[in-house]
Structure 1
Amino acid sequence: MVTTGGTSLKDDIMRLYQPVHLLVGTPGRILDLAKKGVCILKDCSMLVMDEADKLLSPEFQPSIEQLIQFLPGTRQILMFSATFPVTVKDFKDRYLRKPYVINLMDELTLKGITQYYAFVEERQKVHCLNTLFSKSIIFCNSVNRVELLAKKITELGYSCFYIHAKMLQDHRNRVFHDFRNGACRNLVCTDLFTRGIDIQAVNVVINFDFPKNSETYLHRVGRSGRFGHLGLAVNLITYEDRFNLYRIEQELGTEIKQIPPHIDQAIYCR
């Protein structure tokens, strides 16, 4: 059974009247069902945390810790994460007993992705997007900026969708489906889109707003090089972003070069 926020709670409650062996969902919705007494977790022997670094962000961690209280003391917790920030380590030390740690970070590199930065003033960013690629994902750091940028790109005459966390789930699903099927060339989004969604046709990521930390950067940019494809990441950097640029390069052990006058398509298209 799958359950997420933004969908019918009544339908979930009705489905839980039948035996459910595997429950996949968002922390807030599962916690809500557990508190209502319709989702009985006392015999649940395993908790799997996919994208654990995101689940242990301030937005979700309180719900995760409350959920654990509904599980038996003998439960097993499995955590999967592309990055290993302090929050994941602290949670592991607190809730996992003699855990096994399997590190596959050597496979989670930026290999195959050419990364560039362009120093621009804030007012120049939209102008830089006049040279758009065949299919790209463009990241902003807030819901408001996503909507404003998508509107501006459309006004410039380019096909564009947008997606963010404040949209209804059905609307987000429809936008994602249409973009995946090629209904438009560009998708403007928040970091909601970086987790667990793979679109093989996307080979260009544009950070319209540069991320604040290396975890977010890896999740955004790593998407363009998945499935063994070549990828291109273009970062629009303002004066205020310069220290974050250097820090992220150091933390990820990568090089983000200044963008050249011309970008050869061969570096991101086979």
Structure 2
Amino acid sequence: MLISFLNLGVDPWLVKRCELLGIRHPTPVQANCIPPILAGRDVIGCAQTGSGKTAAFALPILHTLSKDPYGPYALVLTPTRELAFQIADQFNAFGSSMAVRCAVIVGGVDMLKQSLALQQRPHIIVATPGRFHDHLLRANPPNISLVKYVVLDEADRLLDVSFAKDLSFIFDKLPSKRQTLLFSATMTANLDRLEQTALSDDAFRFDATPSVKTVETLKQFYLFIPAQVKMTYLMYLMKMLDPTEEDEEEEQNSRKMVKGRKGKRDLEKLLEAATPSKRQMRSMMIFVSTCKMCELVGEIGNELGTKCVTLHSMMSQNRRLAALGKFKSGLSHILISTDVASRGLDIPEVDVVLNFDLPRDADDYIHRVGRTARAGRSGQAISLVTQHDIELLQNIEAKVGKKMEDYESDAPEKKVLKLLNDVTTASRVAKMKLTERGFDDKVHARKAKRQEQRGNKNKKLKTNGDTGKQ
């Protein structure tokens, strides 16, 4: 017998809202985590991306908020901007009938506007640690002394050393009497340590991460290539796997063969009916290691006529959301991204994951390829491997417990190298465009700004520490 949200103790108004959103029965992470959260216990929940972790904490928070609405009531910390907006969207969707107020506090958005939003005392604050730390250092910081819930979403990533100082400062400002909820796609040693230090003794633990790291419906390939022609191989694979290339060629050939007005009208109707479903068959995510490489691959792809969009942390928030929107809607079939999109984000039905750069950490590989072959569907993961990447490949294979298959027969060298001149020319044009846009200058300016911000934060932390000693 399937249980319902009512069985879990969720208020009827929230259950009705879930049903209106097409959610009738809780997933395992929701069924296991919602009751202890409602009972006031700290919770650590681990489940795969797409398993409903956000609703597992959003529903009980909204349930208790409706009994005693004030703000700020809950603080949700997450590693990326896109994930912050996605979480806020879900809070707004579930809590629309109670007019829940959410504030998203992330980088890339005007701080003054964010300060004004925080002054309105929103019920839910969804933030990235660095930007929220910045707001707490301002002259009129948000008051979080009465926050009831603190949520760390993608907690294993938040426990990375790059977030350590920001998190430590934020936690010092939070009340000791609170509920702490940790959610993640993987159980790591860092999470184990945090559970022992930051959660109460009776904390509830739910771990549904599979012992098998990648699913059986995922076909994993490697392609061993010389480093100097790596971009040419990538462009060949993008063209070979992009469905729009094949579709457009077929349409042109069909139109040439058909004569007469009636025949052309019939053909247009046939294409109109058949093309959408066919073009929804394939979508591809390409992962690269740096923001600059992400921009470069996108520019080269566009120069060669491939419709692709990019996603990385140096893009403005509007551009990032627009790129995600185009990919999700099918306007673009190829998304080129840094690891900002490897997990957490709601990106359904990806057919191919292509690793242009292998990740340094095998866990990051698992999260990347986890974007495809979801919910029982099949999928492919193809990794480009140069002479410098052999050890990385071996570490990944050891982690997933599976040897990858060779993809060489699907990308024969003779065919690939026919593109070499075109790719070389497109690369030259793309690099010129990046230079004209001042992208290198932006990279250097960003590094300098980060160093300055780190210095300023350290000074303020030292000043606050000295003041506390007096």
Answering whether residue 116 of structure 2 is matched by residue 14 of structure 1, we say yes
Alignment partner, residue 387 of structure 2: 239
Alignment partner, residue 186 of structure 1: 334
Answering whether residue 183 of structure 2 is matched by residue 80 of structure 1, we say yes
Partners of 1:200 and 1:42 in 2: how far apart? Answer: 38
Cα distance change of structure 1 residues 142 and 80 upon mapping to structure 2, 3 Å threshold: same
Partners of 1:12 and 1:147 in 2: how far apart? Answer: 28
Alignment partner, residue 126 of structure 1: 231
Answering whether residue 219 of structure 2 is matched by residue 219 of structure 1, we say no
Q: Which amino acid aligns with 2:315?
A: M
1:216-250 deviation per Cα after TM superposition (whole angstroms, max 9, x unaligned) = 11111101122432211000111221112121222
1:100-129 deviation per Cα after TM superposition (whole angstroms, max 9, x unaligned) = 332111287421211111111212222222
Answering whether residue 248 of structure 2 is matched by residue 100 of structure 1, we say no
Partners of 1:155 and 1:122 in 2: how far apart? Answer: 21
> Contact 2:349 / 2:374 at 8 angstroms: preserved in 1?
no
Partners of 1:62 and 1:241 in 2: how far apart? Answer: 32
Residue aligned with 2:112, SS: helix
The structure richer in helix per residue is: 2
Cα distance change of structure 1 residues 16 and 103 upon mapping to structure 2, 3 Å threshold: same
Deviating more after overlay: 209-218 vs 155-164: 155-164
Deviating more after overlay: 83-92 vs 170-179: 83-92
Normalised TM-score (structure 1): 0.89
Once the two structures are TM-superposed, the CA of residue 260 in structure 1 deviates from its matched residue by: 5.5
Alignment partner, residue 67 of structure 1: 170
Cα distance change of structure 1 residues 62 and 252 upon mapping to structure 2, 3 Å threshold: farther
Residue aligned with 1:116, SS: strand
RMSD: 2.1
Alignment partner, residue 31 of structure 1: 133
Q: How does 1:107-256 map to 2 (within 5 A)?
A: 109-111=213-215, 112-129=217-234, 130-132=236-238, 133-134=241-242, 135-256=283-404
Matched length: 263
Normalised TM-score (structure 2): 0.53
Q: Which amino acid aligns with 2:237?
A: T
Partners of 2:190 and 2:406 in 1: how far apart? Answer: 33
Once the two structures are TM-superposed, the CA of residue 193 in structure 1 deviates from its matched residue by: 1.4
Identity of aligned residues (%): 30
Once the two structures are TM-superposed, the CA of residue 138 in structure 1 deviates from its matched residue by: 0.6
Residue aligned with 1:228, SS: coil
Residue aligned with 2:132, SS: helix
> Contact 1:200 / 1:227 at 8 angstroms: preserved in 2?
no
Cα distance change of structure 1 residues 23 and 228 upon mapping to structure 2, 3 Å threshold: farther
Q: Which amino acid aligns with 2:232?
A: H
Higher relative contact order (CA 8 A, sep 6+): 1
Residue aligned with 2:358, SS: coil
> Contact 2:109 / 2:317 at 8 angstroms: preserved in 1?
yes
Alignment partner, residue 268 of structure 1: none
Q: Which amino acid aligns with 1:61?
A: A
> Contact 2:187 / 2:207 at 8 angstroms: preserved in 1?
no
> Contact 1:34 / 1:41 at 8 angstroms: preserved in 2?
no
Q: Which amino acid aligns with 1:12?
A: Q
Q: Which amino acid aligns with 1:156?
A: L
Once the two structures are TM-superposed, the CA of residue 66 in structure 1 deviates from its matched residue by: 1.2
Deviating more after overlay: 249-258 vs 174-183: 249-258
Q: Runs of 4 or more off by more than 6 Å in structure 1?
A: none
Deviating more after overlay: 92-101 vs 49-58: 92-101
Partners of 1:182 and 1:150 in 2: how far apart? Answer: 17
